Amino acid sequence: MIEKHVLHAHREHFGQDGQVYAAPARVNLIGEHTDYTGGLVMPMAIGFQTVAAVSPRQDGRAVFYSMNFDEEIAFEIASQGVSPSGHWSDYPAGVLWCLGQAGVVVSGFNMTLGGDVPLGAGLSSSASVEVATAMALLKHAGATLPLAEIATLCRRAENEYVGAKSGIMDQFVVAGGVVERAMLLDCRSLDYELLPLPSAVKVVICNSMVKHAHADGEYGDRRDEVESGQAVVVQERPGVAMLRDATVADLDACRDKMSEASFLRCRHIVTENARVLEAREALLEGDMKHFGVLMEKAHVSFRDDFQASCAEIDTLVEIASRQPECFGARITGGGFGGCTVNVVRAADAERFVETLRREYEAATGIVADCFVCEASDGALAMLTHRGAQ
């Protein structure tokens, strides 16, 4: 459906037929702010999509057209340097730049980008654009790359071109997610395991409608606090190469050598890595009650130690936790607004959404957007399935 829409827009805008490539959004079930210290995360791809339609042009130029912004940006591929402008086009242009850095020769093209991923909601609209662009440009260039390289390249575009200091979770699951599976990703080795999600539960995402400012400010501040705490533990504790290797006892032993903020942020991460492993066990045993308890603990740690929640999100989590059909609820994504993720009994998902929306509006005056989701294919699996049709 979205693909047809984007193909149509491509034809209207460029007067050419295009080839389409898609990438989903993602939600993280548990494992927040652990990715950039080599930790563990458990996200899944979800059914929102960015679609990139691409067709060749002969003059060596890159032309990106965004349906969302109804705007075009064009430049000579050969002259492209790192010149981010705080514009939507930084994301696809960053991917083009990284492909060039990786030695992939991309000739002139027209690209239309469209889709339905909610922007700024914490569902990774940026990784979705990056991965869709990478898939389209790789095909256009007649090149292929394995999952880990696609994810690394797209992360690099975000870190080095756009200037947002994110980890690798979003790009990895957006590229590599699989239908009906959550992904346990080790962000140090990039090894991953696909874990079946019971069909008796649904994942409900609820947008607090409080926007987070991802590329600037608070995410970067938290990351700086974490990294300075990590530097202390690595220096002080033998065998600790990254925060991933540290225990709470290691942190306690270094507490007076770091700021209180760094100590608390690092404690969140160390305990969160342990919760992800426990959540894996719970999923494998089909014990959603235990999974839900871990989600609730993760939220408390995010709120109190990481201090990156906000009043509206806490209200959503508190309302959700009171509902008998809800196994667990927590903030998801970078923090400071955005969405909550809720694991609920499938049969009662719609009722859960109604209650959550009604009570949230009564408490805050804000009407939340809620989505009942299933784990979807990532960009690579979508391509494989399309090829097989």
Catalytic residues: 170
Please, which residues bridge with residue 181 across strands?
A: 196
Using CB under 6 A as the binding rule, whether residue 272 contacts ligand GAF is answered as no
Are the C-beta atoms of residues 335 and 222 closer than 8 Å to each other?
A: yes
Range in contact with ligand GAF (rule: CB under 6 A) among 33-41, 56-64, 283-291, 375-383: 33-41
Of 26, 29, 45, 46, residue with least CA distance to 272: 29
Are the C-beta atoms of residues 263 and 229 closer than 8 Å to each other?
A: yes
Compute the least distance from the CB of residue 131 to ligand GAF, in Å: 13
Nearer to ligand GAF, 110 or 208 (CB): 208
Q: Which residue among 152, 166, 230, 309 contacts ligand GAF (CB under 6 A)? A: 166
Are the C-beta atoms of residues 94 and 158 closer than 8 Å to each other?
A: yes
Please give the residue whose beta carbon sits closest to ligand GAF in the complex.
Answer: 166
Are the C-beta atoms of residues 191 and 362 closer than 8 Å to each other?
A: no
* Binding-residue total with ligand GAF (CB under 6 A): 12
Range in contact with ligand GAF (rule: CB under 6 A) among 48-56, 142-150, 162-170, 322-330: 162-170
Are the C-beta atoms of residues 116 and 49 closer than 8 Å to each other?
A: yes
Compute the least distance from the CB of residue 350 to ligand GAF, in Å: 28
Using CB under 6 A as the binding rule, whether residue 32 contacts ligand GAF is answered as yes
Are the C-beta atoms of residues 79 and 51 closer than 8 Å to each other?
A: no
Compute the least distance from the CB of residue 170 to ligand GAF, in Å: 5
Using CB under 6 A as the binding rule, whether residue 225 contacts ligand GAF is answered as no
Q: List helix spans (H) across the chain.
A: 2-14, 90-101, 125-140, 147-156, 169-176, 218-236, 248-254, 260-284, 288-304, 311-321, 349-364, 379-388
Question: Rule CB under 6 A: which of 294-333 touch ligand GAF?
Answer: 333
Structure tokens at 151: 């994810």
Range in contact with ligand GAF (rule: CB under 6 A) among 31-39, 80-88, 136-144, 354-362: 31-39
Using CB under 6 A as the binding rule, whether residue 128 contacts ligand GAF is answered as no
Using CB under 6 A as the binding rule, whether residue 169 contacts ligand GAF is answered as yes
State the residues that interact with ligand GAF by CB under 6 A: 28, 32-33, 35-36, 124, 166-167, 169-170, 333-334
